[in-house]
Structure 1
């Protein structure tokens, strides 16, 4: 038991001393780390590169001469390019190009090209005469900002579609009135004026500018003042978007109406022409069969005219009974048509002249007597 108690006492005495020693050691290491970081940051230069563009990493304050034997570029402590005296340059890939003045060219920057690049220069004796680090950061170029505004809401919006970490600045008559690190900036006003707005979108690799002139006057001001007396609409050069949509919609409806009207009229004309054609065809079909039926009725009547020179009463009477088996309505129609129309042919005229129409009723009374005598 005595040994255990002595061990516990010694442990209690040693633990505070060990904790104090650890604290001193850690604080010393932190101070050393901070100091080394400060030296590296002072020797490292930050360079911004544009995405999908080339960049040249120039060595500041350096000029190639005969005393320089070796120039080496490293990316994250990995050799990517080297230029030795009296030897062809070395490039690890086609993306990197080593120029004769020691500059490193990087083609078509990508996102993964962002890293720390270090250049080391040695003389003929192998002594390091220069060492420089470059922290390459890559951003996408900002697009041209788009300015839009509304007459009824009294608002102006400037926005940019593309770009890494854009910074927007809005100027009114060359005076900065608003600034934002977002992709859109909005401005409202409560007065009536005519002014010029300038919107600038920028980042570390480039900048783009758009300018517009806005006039809050005219019909837009009168219309909005009648509806909202305290508000001031923003007038644009030209027409408001709602008015444009309304005009386009009304014009489209009108064109559709005119097209339908023209189509309806043309269809009606076609129907009328078809009806007229059908009526003409029907009339033609009605006339031709009557003419055809009238001709054979006259032809057998004309044949017995030759024997009529010898026996006039019996033969016409006998021939007149032959058509009695047929329906009689065609007979009166033919006579009615003969009364209305003149004889169409010369043959018919000759037949009328040779056979007078007056004896025909008398001949029709005689056939019954002749039939009784024959019977």
Structure 2
């Protein structure tokens, strides 16, 4: 669009070489809207200046102080001059597009001259996004119907990996193997419409999807196995170091215990001991009863001692 503006400016300078352009601007508006074409140059309040708006060399309206003069049918022009010199155009139509020039005079001298390149465009239609699945690829079509003639717009087709842009084309197609979210955008300077859709095709496309998911799952399992192996190996190394340190600390204590305590019999009997226990014991000889032991003779009662007799 910048090249188009430069081209229009060069054409105006070639057509009107004697006119010096003070300022040039580009304005875009949609059909049935209201446009305000303003003046960039500051205006001094008072009756010493007047403003004239022209379209393509034809005078439209003039403002001198507080008096407004129309050179065309006001209803047909649908235009009005505001107090600050701004040109107002209502209920825009395609015919209102063109080159507008405003000239500001003060004290009979040209103070400023400004040009406005005005474009009236229709809103772009709603695009239609369709697709068709093939054996090995998918075809996506972005179509903008009911387009007005000589209407400048841009069509964009966005896919998961790239974007395809084309100017002034009602149909934009793409062929490939990618699937996912597709977006179709049709826009111009005054409006923009969009259609988007998630496109997935069965068969070949599902096979690639399943293959990618399976590859990701296998990679994840391998990662988990490697992680578990590393953790266990690290724990084993720590256990070995701990056992070595423990053995070094307990060796002197066990040596002292070995010198003090006798070796303990094993808790479980050996097969030889079991066989010995299972053998029957030889018959024991019966012991003869011993004769009764002689009882001691009873002791005689003590005799009372004879007391000495008393002399008369």
TM-score by length of 1: 0.43
Q: Is the 8 A contact 2:159 2:182 kept in 1?
A: yes
1:113 aligns with 2:96: yes
2:270 aligned residue = none
Q: Is the 8 A contact 2:21 2:114 kept in 1?
A: no
Shift in alpha-carbon separation, 1:138–1:40, aligned structure 2, 3 A: farther
Q: Distance in 2 between matches of 1:200 and 1:40?
A: 40
Q: Structure 2 stretches of 5 or more lacking a match?
A: 1-12, 209-312
1:180 aligns with 2:180: no
1:154 aligned residue = 138
Q: Distance in 1 between matches of 2:191 and 2:112?
A: 31
Higher relative contact order (CA 8 A, sep 6+): 2
Q: Distance in 2 between matches of 1:67 and 1:87?
A: 10
Shift in alpha-carbon separation, 1:178–1:120, aligned structure 2, 3 A: same
Q: Distance in 1 between matches of 2:64 and 2:22?
A: 28
Q: Distance in 1 between matches of 2:42 and 2:191?
A: 27
Shift in alpha-carbon separation, 1:207–1:62, aligned structure 2, 3 A: farther
Q: Is the 8 A contact 2:62 2:70 kept in 1?
A: yes
**How far off is 1:64 after superposition?**
5.9
Structure with the higher strand share, 1 or 2: 2
Shift in alpha-carbon separation, 1:130–1:143, aligned structure 2, 3 A: same
1:145-184 CA-to-partner distances (Å, cap 9, x unmatched) read 11111234721111112352221111124x6421112111
Q: Distance in 2 between matches of 1:172 and 1:188?
A: 11
1:196 aligns with 2:181: yes
**How far off is 1:69 after superposition?**
2.7
Q: Distance in 1 between matches of 2:185 and 2:199?
A: 17
TM-score by length of 2: 0.51
1:112-142 CA-to-partner distances (Å, cap 9, x unmatched) read 323221111122x222211112222333221
1:51 aligned residue = 31
2:118 aligned residue = 136
Shift in alpha-carbon separation, 1:59–1:35, aligned structure 2, 3 A: same
1:269 aligned residue = none
2:276 aligned residue = none
Shift in alpha-carbon separation, 1:177–1:109, aligned structure 2, 3 A: same
Shift in alpha-carbon separation, 1:39–1:129, aligned structure 2, 3 A: closer
**How far off is 1:42 after superposition?**
7.7
1:5-41 CA-to-partner distances (Å, cap 9, x unmatched) read xxxxxxxxxxxxxxxxxxxxxxxxxxxx859659767
1:264-320 CA-to-partner distances (Å, cap 9, x unmatched) read xxxxxxxxxxxxxxxxxxxxxxxxxxxxxxxxxxxxxxxxxxxxxxxxxxxxxxxxx
Shift in alpha-carbon separation, 1:37–1:86, aligned structure 2, 3 A: closer
Q: Is the 8 A contact 2:36 2:86 kept in 1?
A: yes
Q: Is the 8 A contact 1:64 1:102 kept in 2?
A: no
Aligned positions of 1:84-123 closer than 5 A: 84-88=64-68, 90=70, 92=72, 93-94=74-75, 95-123=78-106
Shift in alpha-carbon separation, 1:171–1:53, aligned structure 2, 3 A: same
Matched residue count: 187
Q: Distance in 2 between matches of 1:47 and 1:214?
A: 39
Q: Is the 8 A contact 1:147 1:199 kept in 2?
A: yes
Q: Is the 8 A contact 2:21 2:115 kept in 1?
A: no
Q: Is the 8 A contact 1:50 1:205 kept in 2?
A: yes
1:73 aligns with 2:58: no
Q: Structure 1 stretches of 5 or more lacking a match?
A: 1-32, 231-375
Any idea what SS the aligned residue of 1:112 has?
helix
Moved over 4 A (4+): 33-43
Q: Is the 8 A contact 2:61 2:68 kept in 1?
A: no
Q: Is the 8 A contact 2:41 2:112 kept in 1?
A: no
